[in-house]
Amino acid sequence: MTNPAPAYTPRTILITGASGEFGAAFARRFAAIGSKLILTARDLAKLKPLLDTLSVPVHVLTLDVRDRKAVEEALATLPAEFAEIDLLVNNAGLALGADPAFKANLDDWEVMIDTNDKALAIVTGLVLPGMVARGRGHIINLSSVAGSYPYPGGHVYCASKAFVTQFSLSLRADLIGTGVRVTSLEPGMVQTGFSLVRFKGDAERAAKVYADTVPLTAEDVAESVYWAATLPPHFNVNRLEIMPTTQGPGGLAVHRTPQV
């Protein structure tokens, strides 16, 4: 049995953070239907293994999405065949640390806000006018269940993802009637290098996050992105929250002090 043709095929896709597991999975999923890809990464060497597997036209932007000037210049000078972006997947993001807020590293906070929020907003702001002018387009922002369900040690990471979700919904409010779609994709536990980055290379600590459970994979998340992006143009997925069946929202914490 062959897979049915999608109802809609984005022609040109910009994926930020393409050298990570999510970005690579997204690129492979859309390459399978012939979409042209614009891929951003800070390190071209990390992106090369992915590039060797792709058979569609690809334009690489080697830059840090936190560098506004670099992003502006890169998007302003896209080759003509890549200039009309149909789908923006704001994937670049990270968590750093899981200590309580009163022990947290302020540099980590700043990096998370700059990457997860400021960079996402800047890339969106640069791509959006062209989509509106053409009367078509889709922005898929990678948020997280952390934006809805706070947890100890989450503080700035949770807040940064709440921003992504609310920013996405606010964009929807502004874009009614323009033909441009916006989706906030909110995954739960996914086994990637996310925890290894969060715990700054502590492999043992990172492995404990996924021990004795069955998390989602990057390919699962890619399938969700693909589904939302290939629906008929009149169909907008505002928010899409996904979790493995081994995960669910927890109860509120209560601290109890025994009465003397």
Give the residue numbers annotated as catalytic, written as ranges: 157
Cα separation, 19 vs 28, whole angstroms: 12
Cα separation, 195 vs 204, whole angstroms: 10
Q: Are 115 and 94 in contact (CB under 8 A)?
A: yes
Cα separation, 118 vs 160, whole angstroms: 10
Q: Are 139 and 183 in contact (CB under 8 A)?
A: yes
Q: Are 168 and 138 in contact (CB under 8 A)?
A: no
* CB-count burial class (<10 Å; 0-12, 13-18, 19+) for 57: middle
Q: Look up residue 103 and give its amino acid.
A: K
* Helix boundaries (H) for 89-214: 106-113, 120-134, 155-175, 194-198, 203-210
DSSP state of 117: I
> Residues with Cβ < 8 Å from 157, sequence gap 6 or more?
95, 96, 112, 116, 144, 146
Segment (H or E) for 21: helix 21-31
Q: Are 160 and 117 in contact (CB under 8 A)?
A: yes
Closest CA to 19 of 38, 36, 37, 42: 42
